[in-house]
C-alpha cells in the first residue's frame, strides 16, 4: 500500500491506495481510448460545460481539499486555499476560451482559380490529439497536479486525461480525482474521461502505452529523462511537454538599488522564501551592484533571512537535495552569508532534524557575477538564493550567457535607465520565456497572454504550461479537402458564425466588435 | 569534389562544389547567430520585403533554375516550371501573411484587479526561435528544397536559414542559394541570413551545432533517425520537424466505382504516376470494391499502366529501392497485375537498365483488404500502387488500423452514400492529417488552411510543412510583465493597431472588416 507523510513531522501513515498494476494501466488506457472517441463527437459547448462543472466541483470540495493537502504538503491553509481558487479559476477561464472558439483555429479557403491553377476547397481546424498522460508536480498539489492546468488544457482540447499522481500527495490526488469524476458524472461525460495511476512503474508504463498520444510533466530533469527514455521505446514518438528546471535570474540596477533597495530586499526575500522557496519561478540568483546601495540591499536581505523561522519542505527527497545542493554551491565557491533559524528556539540544524520534520533555514549565499559558473547556477528547490555582486553590467550579460536558461528573467531599474534596459533586453529574451520588470517572477498570472515556458532546460522553448495557449499542446491540425458539409466539424461548415474564423485569408469575427 | 548525375542516363560529372568541412560548418553557424541577432531587430515589414524580393529573384532566375534542375532530376521542364511558380508564390503568400501579422499572436492583458487579487500587465507574442537548419528533399528541387516552404517559413518567422543541400541536386541547390543571397543583398539583409552546407557529415554537424535552434527535414525515416540521434547528443534538445513517410490510402465506394469508375481509374493513374510517383502524397494503396464495377476500374487502371512509358527516377538510391520494395511487396503476397513499358521500343527491364538511366515501369500490384498487412503498406517511392479489393467496408476500416498513418486519406463516394462517409470519417481523421473527398491527394494547395502533416510516421502530428501555419514551427512565445513601452516589441505597444491582437481576452482586428 502507498503511504502518506506529514512533512512537518516526517511521520508516515499507510493509506488505502496501492500502486497501479500493469494490467490496471492497460485497462485505464483502453478506457481513455474509448472516451477519446466519444469526446471527439461532443461539441465545444460540452467541453466548456464540463470545465465549468469541474470548477464548481472544486469549490464544493474546497475545505476537504485544503485540509488533505495541508497534511501532505505542509504548505499551509492560506497558500492552499489560494491555490484552490486558482485551480477553479483556471477551469472557468478555459471554459470561456473554449466557448470563444479561437483555440480551434478554424480556417476556410474556398475553391478558387489561382495563379497556380484551379485550387480545391480546403478547410482546417485543430482536433484533440487523444488521451493525455499528465504527471502531477509535488509543489502545487492543485494548480500543477490532478486539478491543474494540464488537466484543464487537455479537457479544453477535448482529450481524456490519465493522471500520474505525485507520490508526495496521494490522498490529495485521489480526492482530486473524485472531484473530477463528480463533474464528469454531472455532465454525463464518457466513462474514462478522467483516471489516475499511482507509482513510478505505472507512470513509465503509461507514457509507453500505445493509447497515450501526449504527455505533460512538471518536475526534475532526471525524472523527465527517464520518461523520455520510455517514450523513445515506442514505435511512434509522442510529444512530451516538460517543464523541468529554472534558476530565474533577477538583476537590480545601481539606480534601483539606490532608489528602493530596502523595498526590493523585502520583495526579494518574500519571493525566494514564499511557499518555502519551492516554486519553479523562485529567483535563484540576484545580480546586485557593488558599492554602498547594493551593500545596503544585501545587508537588508541578510537581516530578513537571519530572523526568519525555519520552513517545511514538501518531502524527504527535496529536504535531502536542499542540503546536498547548498553544500555543492558552497564547495563551488559561494559564501554562506546568512541563514535563518533552524528550529523554533534552537540555533543548530542538528536539533531540528531530530524533530523528524523536513525543515530547513532560509539561506543566502554570495558570490560575484564574474565568478558565477554554471555549477553555481544549479537550481535548489527551497528557500535559498545566490547573490552575485557585479561592478559592470557587462559582467551580468556575460554571466547570463554562462548560466542555464530559465522560465523567467527579471530586471529592477529606474525610468532614467532606459539604456540599461535596452542593453539587457536581448540577453534576457534569449534566456527566458517571461521578462519581468520591477517585480518578482513568483506569482504567475493565469491569463491569455501568459507564457510559462522558456529555452531548455526550462522547457523545450515552444510551449507554455500556464495560460490559455497551453491548450495548443493537446491539439493537432486536420485539413478537409472538398468535403461535403455533413463530413465537416460544425466549426468549418458554411454559415457557422459563432467563432472567429479565417476565411480566404481574412480573419472574420463572429460579430462586429472589432472596433474594440 | 561533389558530382552531379543525369538520372536519364546515369552519367555523373564532377562539379566545382565540395563537401563542407567541420570548420566551415562552424563558420556558417556563427554567421547565422549574428544574423539572428540582427534579424530580431528588424521589423515585420523588413521580413515581408525580403520574402517579396526572394519571389522576384526566383522569377528572374526561372529559366536557369528549370534547366539546371531538369538536368539533375529528370522531372521535366513543365513540372519544374510549375514548381518554380509554386516556390515564388509561396514567398509572396508568406510576405502577405507577415504583413497581416496574426502569426505573431500578439496578446495583451492589462493590469487588473481579478478574483485572484491584483494582477500585473502581461503581454505575449511569438519571436524567432533562432537559426534554422533546413534539409532539402530530393523530390521537390524547389518547393521542398533551398527555395522551399521551410526557407520561406523560417524567414517569415525572422530566422536565418542554413540549408543542407540535397546530394541529388547540388548545382540546383547552389544556384538557389545564390538566388536567395541576391534577394538578401537587394534588401540589405544581414550577412549570414542564408547559407548552405553540402555533404552528409556537414548535415549531422549542423544539427548538433549549438547555434542551430530548430531543424526541418523532408525525407526518409532512416535519414531522420540519424539526424535525431545527432540531436540527442546535444545538451539542449532542439525541435526537429520531420516529414517522413506516407502511404496515402484512397478508398473508392461501390457507388463511386459504379458511377464514375473509368474517370477515377484515369485520375488515380495520373496521381500515382505524376512526377514518376515520387510525391509524398502519392496514393500508395487503393481500396476498390469487389464485383463488376470495381473489376472494371481495376481493368481500366491496368490498361493505362501497361500502355505507359517508363519513368525516370531521381537517383540511383531511389531506383534501387523501387526494385527492392516491389520485390518485397510481391514476396509479401501482392500479385503484380500490370507493368508499363520498360524502355521505348523494348519489353524487358534488362534492356532498359543497360541504358544506365534510372528508369522504371509504372506498376500495379493487387491484394485484398483483408490480407493487407503493415508490410504490404510499405511506402515505395516511384510509380507503384497496391490495389486492395474489399467486399465489406468493415475490411477497409480494419485495414486502416493496421497500416501506417499518413499525410492524407482519400474517399471517393456518391452523394447518397453519406452513411459510408460517416462510418469512415473517424478512422480517416485518426489516420491522416488531410482528408480528401472525390479527388486525389497529390497536388497540395499552398494556402492558409492547408495542413501537410499527420500522425507518425507522416510527421510528429502537430505541425505542417505546407501552408501559412508552417511558420509556427520557427517561433517561440515570450511574455513581458509590467514592461515599459520602450522595452516592448512594436506589436505589443499601446496604440499599435496594425495587426490583429487579443486584448484582455478579446480578439481585436485592425479595422472593422469583421463583417467579412
Distance from C-alpha of B126 to C-alpha of B107, rounded to nearest angstrom: 10
Interface of B with A in 132-171 (CB under 8 A): none
Q: Helix axis angle, A44-60 relative to A77-100, nearest 10°?
A: 160
Q: What's the ipTM?
A: 0.96
At B195 the pLDDT is 98
Cα–Cα distances in angstroms (integers) from residue A12 to residues A276, A460, B301, B463, in the given order: 21, 36, 73, 47
Strand duo A475-481 + B432-437: pairing: parallel
Chain A contacts in chain B segment 354-413 (CB below 8 A): none
Q: Is the pLDDT of residue A493 over 50?
A: yes
Find the closest chain A residue to B432 by CA distance. A478
Is the pLDDT at A513 greater than 60, yes or no? no
Banded model confidence at residue A461, pLDDT cuts 50, 70, 90: confident
Residue A234 makes CB contacts below 8 A (sequence gap 6+) with: A208, A210
Gap between the Cα atoms of A315 and A203, Å rounded: 19
Closest to A459 (Cα-Cα) out of A473, A448, A445: A473
Q: What is the pLDDT of residues A279-324, one digit of tens each?
A: 999 999 999 999 999 999 999 999 999 999 999 999 999 999 999 9
Task: Name the burial class of residue A281, with classes exposed (0-12), middle (13-18) and buried (19+) by CB atoms within 10 angstroms of its CB.
Answer: buried
Residue of chain B whose Cα is closest to the Cα of A510: B514
Q: Is B42 on the interface with A (CB under 8 A)?
A: no
**Residues 6 or more apart in contact with residue B392 via CB below 8 angstroms:** none
Give the per-residue pLDDT at B344. 56
* Number of Cβ pairs < 8 A linking chain A and chain B: 241
In the predicted model, what is the mean pLDDT of chain B?
Answer: 95
Over residues B400-434, the pLDDT tens digits come to 999 999 999 999 999 999 999 999 999 999 999 99
C-alpha distance from residue B414 to each of A147, B168, B257, B288 (Å): 47, 43, 9, 14
Predicted confidence (pLDDT) per residue in A157-189, tens digit: 999 999 999 999 999 999 999 999 999 999 999
Res. A516: pLDDT tops 70 = no
Interface contact A514, partner B, CB < 8 A: yes
Task: Identify from A98, A445, A460, A498 which residue to disrupt to test chain B contact, counting B C-beta atoms within 10 A and taking the largest count.
Answer: A445
Measured CA to CA, the distance from residue A190 to residue A184 in angstroms comes to 7
Q: Nearest CA of chain A to the CA of B63: how many Å?
A: 18
Cα(B363)–Cα(A161) distance, integer angstroms? 46
Q: Residue A182 half-sphere exposure, CB side, CA atoms within 13 Å? A: 17
Nearest to A376 by CA among A339, A332, A406, A409: A332
Residues contacting B185, CB < 8 A, separation 6+: none
- Residues B495, B108 contacting (CB under 8 angstroms): no
C-alpha separations of A414 from A270, A271, A409, B314, B370 in Å: 21, 20, 17, 63, 74
> Cα separation of A465 and A143, whole Å?
11
Q: What is the dihedral of CA A277, A283, A286, A287, to 10 degrees?
A: 170
Neighbours of A252 (CB within 10 A): 27
Which pLDDT score, from 0 to 100, does residue B332 have? 95
pLDDT tens, A396-428?
999 999 999 999 999 999 999 999 999 999 999
Residues of chain A found within 8 Å of residue B467, distances taken between Cβ atoms: 124
Say which residues have a Cβ less than 8 Å from residue B282's Cβ, sequence separation at least 6.
B248, B271, B272, B274, B381, B441, B442
Total count of residues recorded for chain B: 516
| CA B419 to each of CA A51, B369, B423: distance values in angstroms, whole numbers, following the listed order | 32, 20, 6
Contact (CB, 8 A) for A160 and A32: yes
Which residues 415-474 in chain B show a CB within 8 A of chain A? Answer: 415, 418, 421-422, 425-426, 429, 432-439, 445-451, 453, 455-457, 460-462, 464, 467, 469
A436: nearest CA partner in chain B: B481
What rounded mean pLDDT belongs to chain A?
95
Taking Cα atoms as reference points, which of B73, B81, B57 lies closest to residue B170? B73
CA distance A251 to A123: 48
Pick the residue of B81, B93, B129, B449 with the most A CBs within 10 A to test the interface with A by mutation.
B449
The continuous run of DSSP H or E covering B411 comes out as strand B406-412
Residue whose C-alpha cell reads 511557499 in the numeric block: A275
SS (H, E, C) B50-70: HHHHHHHHHHHCHHHHHHHHH
Using a CB–CB cutoff of 8 Å, tell me whether B116 touches chain A.
yes
State whether B445 and A513 contact (CB < 8 Å). Answer: no
Q: Are strands A311-312 and A285-289 parallel, antiparallel or unpaired?
A: unpaired
- Note whether B478 contacts A123, CB cutoff 8 Å: no
Between CA A247 and CA B214 the distance in angstroms is 24
The answer to whether B159 is a known catalytic residue is no
Return the pLDDT at A514: 39
- B488 to chain A nearest CA, in Å? 9
Q: What is the DSSP pairing of strand A501-503 with strand A506-508?
A: antiparallel
Most B-contacting residue of A463, A479, A482 (CB-CB within 10 A), to test interface: A479
| Residues of A with Cβ-Cβ distance to B238 under 8 angstroms | 456
Tens of pLDDT, residue by residue over A239-253, are 999 999 999 999 999
Inter-chain residue contact A129 with B461, CB threshold 8 Å: yes
Closest CA to A90 of A38, A131, A137, A145: A145
pLDDT level of residue A355 (50, 70, 90 thresholds): low
**List of chain A residues whose C-beta atoms are within 8 Å of the C-beta of residue B487:** 421-422, 425, 435, 437
Q: Which of A512, A506, A511 is nearest to A107 (CA)?
A: A506
pLDDT digits (tens, 9 = 90+) for B296-321: 999 999 999 999 999 999 999 999 99
Residue A348 has pLDDT above 50, yes or no: no
A369 three-state secondary structure: helix
Among B96, B122, B509, whose Cβ lies nearest the Cβ of A450?
B122
Per-residue b/e over A381-402, b at no fewer than 16 CB within 10 Å?
bbbbbbbbbbeebebbbebbee
Quick one: cell of A377?
547556477
Q: What are the chain A neighbours of B500 within 8 Å (beta carbons)?
A: 507
Give me the catalytic one of A83, A182, A243, A254: A243
Taking the alpha carbons of B39, B43, B44, B45 in that order, is the dihedral positive or negative? negative
Closest CA to A345 of A319, A314, A310: A310
Rounded-to-integer distance, Cα B297 and Cα B268, Å: 10
State residue B83 phi and psi, 5-degree precision. Answer: -70, -35
The pLDDT, as a whole number, for residue A465 is 95
pLDDT digits (tens, 9 = 90+) for B289-302: 999 999 999 999 99
pTM as predicted: 0.96
Q: B348 in contact with A at a CB cutoff of 8 Å?
A: no
Residue A166: helix, strand or coil by DSSP? coil
Higher pLDDT, B343 or A346: B343
- Residues of B whose CB is below 8 A from A89: 115-116
Whether B280 is catalytic is yes
A105 has a chain B CB within 8 A of its CB: yes
Q: Please identify which residue in the block is written with the cell numbers 466539424.
A: A489
DSSP B174: H
Closest Cβ opposite residue B115 in set A89, A96, A213: A89
Lowest mean pLDDT among A190-194, A341-345, B44-48: A341-345
Instruction: Evaluate if residue B515 carries a pLDDT over 90.
Output: no
Q: CA of A19 to nearest chain B CA: how many angstroms apart?
A: 31
DSSP B198-265: -SHHHHHHHHHSTT--EEEEES-HHHHHHHHHHHHTSSS---EEEE-----EEEE-HHHHHHHHHHHH
Secondary structure letter of residue B166 according to DSSP: -
| Mean pLDDT, residues A355-363 taken together | 91
Q: What is the pLDDT of residue B347?
A: 43
- Nearest-CA distance from B106 to chain A in Å? 8
**Chain A within 8 Å of B30 (Cβ-Cβ)?**
no
Q: How far is A422 from chain B (nearest CA, A)?
A: 7
Interchain pair B478, A449: CB under 8 A: no
Interface of B with A in 63-92 (CB under 8 A): 82, 85-86, 89
> Regarding beta strands B501-503 and B107-109, do their DSSP bridges make them parallel or antiparallel, or are they unpaired?
parallel
**What is the pLDDT confidence band of residue A512, given thresholds at 50, 70 and 90?**
low
Q: Which run of H or of E encompasses B418?
A: helix B418-431
pLDDT band at A356 (very low <50, low <70, confident <90, very high): confident
| Interface mutation target, options B85, B271, B479, B496, chain A, most CBs of A under 10 Å | B479
Partner A contacted by B478 (CB < 8 A): yes
* Nearest CA-CA partner of A242 in A477, A430, A455, A468: A455
pLDDT tens-digit map of A112-147: 999 999 999 999 999 999 999 999 999 999 999 999
Q: Which of B243, B366, B395, B491 is catalytic?
A: B243
Amino acid at each position: 500500500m502507498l503511504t502518506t507523510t506529514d512533512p512537518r513531522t516526517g511521520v508516515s501513515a499507510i493509506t488505502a491506495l496501492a500502486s497501479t498494476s500493469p494490467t490496471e494501466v492497460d485497462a485505464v488506457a483502453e478506457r481513455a481510448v474509448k472516451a477519446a472517441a466519444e469526446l471527439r463527437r461532443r461539441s465545444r459547448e460540452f467541453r466548456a460545460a464540463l470545465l465549468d462543472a469541474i470548477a464548481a466541483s472544486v469549490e464544493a470540495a474546497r475545505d476537504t481539499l485544503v485540509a488533505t493537502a495541508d497534511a501532505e504538503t505542509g504548505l499551509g491553509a492560506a497558500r492552499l486555499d489560494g491555490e484552490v481558487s486558482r485551480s477553479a479559476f483556471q477551469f472557468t477561464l478555459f471554459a470561456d476560451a473554449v466557448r470563444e472558439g479561437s483555440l480551434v483555429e478554424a480556417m476556410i479557403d474556398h475553391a478558387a482559380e489561382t495563379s497556380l491553377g484551379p485550387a480545391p476547397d480546403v478547410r482546417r481546424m485543430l482536433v484533440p490529439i487523444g488521451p493525455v498522460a499528465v504527471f502531477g508536480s509535488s509543489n502545487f498539489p492543485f494548480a500543477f497536479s490532478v486539478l491543474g492546468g494540464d488537466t484543464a488544457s487537455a479537457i479544453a482540447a477535448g482529450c481524456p486525461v490519465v493522471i500520474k499522481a505525485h507520490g508526495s500527495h496521494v490522498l490529495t490526488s485521489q480526492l482530486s480525482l473524485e472531484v473530477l469524476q463528480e463533474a464528469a458524472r454531472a455532465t454525463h461525460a464518457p466513462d474514462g474521461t478522467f483516471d489516475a495511476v499511482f507509482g513510478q512503474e505505472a507512470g513509465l508504463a503509461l507514457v509507453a502505452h500505445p493509447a497515450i498520444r501526449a504527455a505533460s510533466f512538471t518536475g526534475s530533469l532526471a525524472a523527465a529523462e527517464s520518461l523520455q527514455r520510455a517514450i523513445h521505446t515506442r514505435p511512434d514518438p509522442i510529444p512530451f511537454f516538460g517543464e523541468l528546471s529554472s534558476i530565474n535570474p533577477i538583476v537590480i540596477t545601481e539606480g534601483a538599488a539606490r532608489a528602493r533597495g530596502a523595498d526590493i530586499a523585502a520583495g526579494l526575500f518574500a519571493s525566494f522564501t514564499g511557499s518555502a522557496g519551492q516554486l519553479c519561478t523562485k529567483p535563484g540568483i540576484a545580480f546586485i551592484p557593488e558599492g554602498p546601495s547594493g551593500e545596503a540591499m544585501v545587508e537588508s536581505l541578510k537581516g530578513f533571512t537571519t530572523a526568519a523561522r525555519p520552513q517545511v519542505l514538501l518531502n524527504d527527497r527535496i529536504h535531502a537535495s536542499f542540503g546536498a545542493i547548498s553544500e555543492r554551491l558552497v564547495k563551488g565557491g559561494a559564501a554562506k552569508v546568512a541563514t535563518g533559524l533552524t528550529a523554533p528556539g534552537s540555533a543548530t540544524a542538528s536539533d531540528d532534524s531530530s524533530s523528524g520534520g523536513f525543515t530547513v533555514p532560509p539561506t543566502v549565499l554570495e558570490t560575484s557575477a564574474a565568478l558565477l559558473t554554471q555549477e553555481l547556477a544549479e537550481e535548489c528547490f527551497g528557500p535559498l538564493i545566490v547573490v552575485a555582486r557585479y561592478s559592470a553590467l557587462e559582467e551580468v550579460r556575460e554571466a547570463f550567457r554562462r548560466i542555464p536558461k530559465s522560465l523567467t528573467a527579471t530586471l529592477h531599474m529606474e525610468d532614467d535607465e532606459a539604456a540599461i534596459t535596452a542593453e539587457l533586453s536581448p540577453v534576457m529574451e534569449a534566456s527566458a520565456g517571461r521578462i519581468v520588470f520591477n517585480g518578482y517572477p513568483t506569482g504567475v498570472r493565469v491569463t491569455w497572454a501568459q507564457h510559462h515556458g522558456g529555452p531548455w532546460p526550462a522547457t523545450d522553448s515552444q510551449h507554455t504550461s500556464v495560460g490559455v495557449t497551453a491548450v495548443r499542446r493537446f491539439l493537432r491540425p486536420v485539413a478537409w479537402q472538398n468535403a461535403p458539409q455533413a463530413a465537416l466539424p460544425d466549426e468549418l461548415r458554411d454559415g457557422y458564425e459563432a467563432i472567429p474564423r479565417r476565411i480566404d485569408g481574412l480573419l472574420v469575427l463572429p460579430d462586429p466588435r472589432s472596433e474594440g
